[in-house]
Structure 1
């Protein structure tokens, strides 16, 4: 089941992010950077001025989460940015990420007509994720050279991607 996140999900989301970050390259943040404060901060921000969804398995466990929010400037009020997705390592390659993303885009399309753009970035070595994002309608828009200190110990490019609302699909 995919549903909107609630503040009560914070502990489960913290556990999810801690497990995902423990895998090298699993998230941009390393395990030590996943704190309850980090989780509570983005969760509050996204519930108030963005969107956060969780994937819950048949046993009631949070196995995935996706979120993005507005940056706070009026000129970017039509943009959800800093999109982050986390799927528990054991649950990856089972369709949870696609379900989360498709529901995220569906909610934006159907319930957030003021949002015309969603932004995310991916490390260049994560070609599987880039292909996945492209399959959902995101396009590569830019490259920030040497921006990420990669898990291999080398610097790699940060690939900027964007999704634009289809003309005539709202707002």
Structure 2
């Protein structure tokens, strides 16, 4: 974990980020075949347009990513949303996710207009992720019942969470 360095993502990173997201798909809201390069390029472009997109690199290998976009309407410019975090399977449990969140929050504090709220949504079965988010300071703000359909046809609730800065 000490070898991991953090830096902002660029569009040139899109193929590498796409490969990581496909490998880490278990907690994401898209299946691997729903992810393609134009989608990833749009996601990075959207995040960088007033929000953040950060990669954690272990040498030349991408260990994790985090991105969040600024809400487009003027009334919501103080909010980062559509937050996605993904950590390579071999890097999970090594603090990469916590380090990405720390960098996201530190960088968000420097943005203008000022960020006052960071939002994410996580499916209820990802209890390890929910524990991480709560340790960081996110609070649950409700439940979207039967929102996430699993491969076996069953459903889980999505849990909206927010961190007020």
Unaligned segments of structure 1, at least 5 residues: 166-171
Inter-partner Cα distance in structure 2 for 1:55 and 1:15: 14
Residue equivalent to 2:141: 141
Give aligned pairs, total: 161
Deviation digits for residues 108-166 of structure 1 (CA, Å, limit 9, x no counterpart): 1244561100000110111111111000010001111111112442111110000001x
Task: Say if 2:158 is the partner of 1:154.
Answer: no
Inter-partner Cα distance in structure 2 for 1:13 and 1:114: 27
Task: Say if 2:108 is the partner of 1:108.
Answer: yes
Greater CA deviation, 5-14 or 35-44? 5-14
The alignment yields a C-alpha RMSD, in angstroms, of 1.3
Matches within 5 A, 1:1-171: 1-21=5-25, 25-57=26-58, 59-112=59-112, 114-165=114-165
Q: Assess if the C-alpha contact under 8 Å between 2:77 and 2:113 holds in 1.
A: no
How far does residue 35 in structure 1 lie from its aligned partner after superposition?
Answer: 0.6
Inter-partner Cα distance in structure 2 for 1:130 and 1:152: 22
Inter-partner Cα distance in structure 2 for 1:152 and 1:125: 14
Inter-partner Cα distance in structure 1 for 2:159 and 2:152: 17
How far does residue 71 in structure 1 lie from its aligned partner after superposition?
Answer: 2.6
Inter-partner Cα distance in structure 2 for 1:112 and 1:133: 24
Deviation digits for residues 22-67 of structure 1 (CA, Å, limit 9, x no counterpart): xxx332211111110111001111112210100000x221111100
SS of the residue corresponding to residue 86 of structure 1 reads strand
Inter-partner Cα distance in structure 2 for 1:112 and 1:130: 29
**What TM-score results when the alignment is normalised by the length of structure 1?**
0.89
